Amino acid sequence: MFDIFQYPIIQNALLAGVMVAVIAAIMGYFLIVRGLTFAGHALPNIGFAGAAGAVLLGLDPVIGLFAFTIGAGIGIGLLGREVNERDTSIGVIMTFALGLGLLFLSLYAGYAERVYSILFGQIIGISQQDVLITAIASLGTLLAILLLFRPLLFSSFDPEMAQARGLPVRLLSLAFLILLAITISLAVQVVGALLIFTLLIGPAATASRITSSPFRALSLAILLGISYTFLGIYLAAENGVWPVSFYIATLSFGIYLPVRLLSPLWLGRRRQRARTNADARADERAGRNKLAALEPERFAGSSR
């Protein structure tokens, strides 16, 4: 059963896959804090159009992917924080981009397998050179995230306050975007442009439902991401037919669903306990008797 790990082709896939899973999980956490999870899906899809276009022009697809992802990211950044309208705009642009990608694909007279692997990933068979590139890029991204961690988290959560504290919020957003584009370009190798969400958002979303401490959520997300990728590659290698990205998507969904459905059980209870304590103390100290004098009697009995 474990013979499969002896093959270098599998070892390479596991190495690259695990490194990508780590940075994808961390970037996913930040996307959730920034309220940009839908962008996490839209960006790689728009990037796909760039990748297909690059192939049509005879260039490396990663260049096209990277360029379109950054462009789309800037565009989404300009749309602002108003969620409803923004998500519709992003959806419309994204589907147009997919249409463009389909056009490029049908115009391309060459080796279609190449574009297929952009859409759905083809990590088993990754070249030694690409493993090296993945390693360097992942490590660089990880170091950058560690260095920028506090300012990035602060400005992700509250850009107004961060700016008042002197943080260069726009520059940080740009840095985040570049790191995200790198992460997406790397993750496309593992799960493909269409399924990036499972590796990017899945682990972080699951972890955020289980714990509210950033450190624990990040650790858990990384652990989940590595597990899905490792298992996905192993199962696909053993099976021989079913693709890696299918296994990863299924694992990601399979773990997220029960956590999501059951989470109100533990989230609600923690909140309740904290609230009743806070209520009791607040009532005492607020000195309701003192303040009630300001308001007519009818407000004295008001409750939440």
Partner 1 sequence: MAKETVVELEQVRVQFGKRVVLENMSLAFEQGEFITILGPNGAGKSTFLKLLLGLLRPAAGTIRVLGRPPRRGNREIGYAPQRRTLETDLALRARDVVGFGLDGNRWGIALPTRRRRARIDQTLAEVNALAFADAPVGQLSGGEQQRLLIAQALLTDPRLLLLDEPLANLDITHGQEIVALVSEVCRARGVTVLLVSHDINPLLPVTDRVLYIAHGQSAIGTPAEVITSATLSKLYNSPVEVVQALGRLFVVGAET
Q: How far apart are CA 95 and CA 176, in angstroms?
A: 24
Binding of partner 1 by 265 (CB under 8 A): no
* Amino acid found at 260: R
Binding of partner 1 by 78 (CB under 8 A): no
Which of 113, 160 has the CB closer to partner 1? Answer: 160
Q: How far apart are CA 195 and CA 116, in angstroms?
A: 13
> Tokens 């989470």 correspond to what residue?
263
Binding of partner 1 by 29 (CB under 8 A): yes
Binding mask 213-252 for partner 1 (x = CB under 8 A): xx-xx-----------------------------------
Measured in whole angstroms, the distance separating CA 234 from the mean position of its chain's CA atoms is 23
Q: How far apart are CA 300 and CA 287, in angstroms?
A: 12
Q: How far apart are CA 179 and CA 66, in angstroms?
A: 11
Binding mask 32-51 for partner 1 (x = CB under 8 A): xx-x----------------
Q: Which two tokens stand for residue 26?
A: 């961390």
Binding of partner 1 by 289 (CB under 8 A): no
Contact criterion met (CB below 8 Å) for 20 and 199: yes
Binding of partner 1 by 212 (CB under 8 A): yes
Task: Catalogue the long-range contacts made by 100-106 (C-beta closer than 8 Å, 24 or more residues apart).
Answer: 100/49, 100/52, 100/53, 101/48, 101/49, 101/51, 101/52, 101/53, 104/49, 104/52, 104/53, 104/55, 104/56, 105/52
Binding of partner 1 by 295 (CB under 8 A): yes
Which of 109, 298 has the CB closer to partner 1? Answer: 298
Binding of partner 1 by 5 (CB under 8 A): no
Which of 107, 291 has the CB closer to partner 1? Answer: 291
Binding of partner 1 by 304 (CB under 8 A): yes
| Chain positions contacting partner 1, by CB under 8 A | 29, 32-33, 35, 146-151, 153-154, 157-158, 160-167, 204-205, 207-209, 211-214, 216-217, 263, 267, 270-271, 274-275, 277-278, 281-282, 285-288, 291, 294-296, 299, 302-304
